[in-house]
């Protein structure tokens, strides 16, 4: 199985190098699609150097911050001209994916690429079309914000009530899709509302959905976390919108 790993990136210069090294270290047939969403912190410059390295067919690049040699031949970089949001970046990545399955990977090191085999297992065994990696099914996780947890549980409960699913973590980053699923779902949300939208449309399409436990290494706002209470309000709207209006 060839796997497309789609990585939306916005102002993640501090973590993108190490993240790409961790993704590349996972032994599987893969392509890595990085979508820069209008970064302004130097992320674009770094990604442009990756593009030059791949174009020149040098086989790789020594990363300036980590000093690690990174193979670049299977990395594609796409650039949004301005910041449009995670959902818009993912749509662009999905449109360019050529694998049999697609994994969504954030660039902030909160999720561990070493868990790809666990996420892909239900798809590879032919029992699942979509897999969510749940932070609340027993994997190790950094102890973080109580009210974020409450908000996540409320949004997940609201989604479950409307989809008739029993998910434990709708708003997880780690989502795996057979490519056929993405080809049959029309996505619209530009920002974090993607999570509610895609869950509603997977449920409506009666795709086989599994959850697996994952670890979670959350970060604080001082460390670069971006989601806010405004995204939570948008999440309520998107959950209602995409479940109640076909």
Assigned CATH for 3-143+169-186+208-220: 3.90.550.10
Pairing label, strands 30-36, 130-134: unpaired
Distance CA(190)–CA(83), nearest Å, equals 10
For the chain, give me the number of helices (H) and strands (E)? Answer: 8, 9
- Please choose, from the candidates 81, 86, 37, 17, the residue with its C-alpha nearest in 3D space to the C-alpha of residue 227: 86
What's the pTM? 0.91
Q: Supply the Cα-derived Rg of the chain in whole angstroms.
A: 17
- Digit-by-digit pLDDT tens for the chain (246 residues) are 899 999 999 999 999 999 999 999 999 999 999 999 999 999 999 999 988 888 876 778 888 888 888 888 899 999 999 999 999 999 999 999 999 999 999 998 999 999 999 999 999 999 999 999 999 987 766 666 677 778 888 999 999 999 999 999 999 999 999 999 999 999 999 988 999 999 999 999 999 999 999 999 875 656 556 667 677 788 899 999 999 987
Q: Which residues contact 109 (CB under 8 A, 6 or more apart)?
A: 15, 18, 19, 22, 217, 219
Q: What pairs with residue 70 in β-bridges?
A: 61
Give the span between the Cα atoms of 10 and 234, in whole angstroms: 19
Q: How wide is the angle at C-alpha 97 spanned by C-alphas 209 and 55, nearest 5°? A: 150
CA distance 215 to 193: 23
């Amino acid at each position: 199985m060839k796997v497309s790993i789609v990585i939306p990136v916005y102002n993640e210069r501090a973590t993108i190098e190490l993240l790409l090294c961790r993704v590349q270290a996972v032994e599987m047939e893969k392509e890595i699609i990085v979508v820069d969403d209008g970064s302004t912190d130097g992320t674009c410059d770094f990604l442009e150097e990756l593009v030059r390295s791949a174009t020149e067919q040098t086989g790789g690049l020594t990363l300036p911050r980590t000093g690690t040699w990174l193979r670049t031949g299977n990395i594609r970089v796409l650039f949004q001209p301005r910041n449009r949001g995670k959902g818009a970046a993912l749509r662009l990545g999905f449109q360019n994916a050529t694998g049999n399955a697609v994994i969504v990977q954030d660039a902030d090191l909160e999720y561990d690429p070493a868990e790809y085999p666990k996420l892909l297992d239900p798809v590879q065994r032919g029992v699942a079309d979509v897999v969510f990696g749940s932070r609340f099914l027993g994997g190790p996780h950094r102890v973080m914000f109580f009210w974020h947890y409450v908000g996540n549980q409320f949004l997940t409960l609201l989604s479950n009530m409307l989809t008739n699913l029993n998910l434990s973590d709708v708003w997880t980053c780690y989502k795996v899709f057979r490519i056929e699923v993405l080809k049959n779902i029309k996505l619209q949300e530009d920002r974090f509302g993607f999570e509610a939208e895609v869950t509603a449309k997977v449920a409506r399409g009666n795709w086989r959905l599994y959850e697996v436990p994952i670890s979670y290494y959350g970060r604080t706002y001082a460390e670069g976390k971006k989601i806010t209470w405004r995204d939570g309000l948008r999440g309520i709207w998107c959950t209602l919108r995409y479940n109640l209006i076909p």
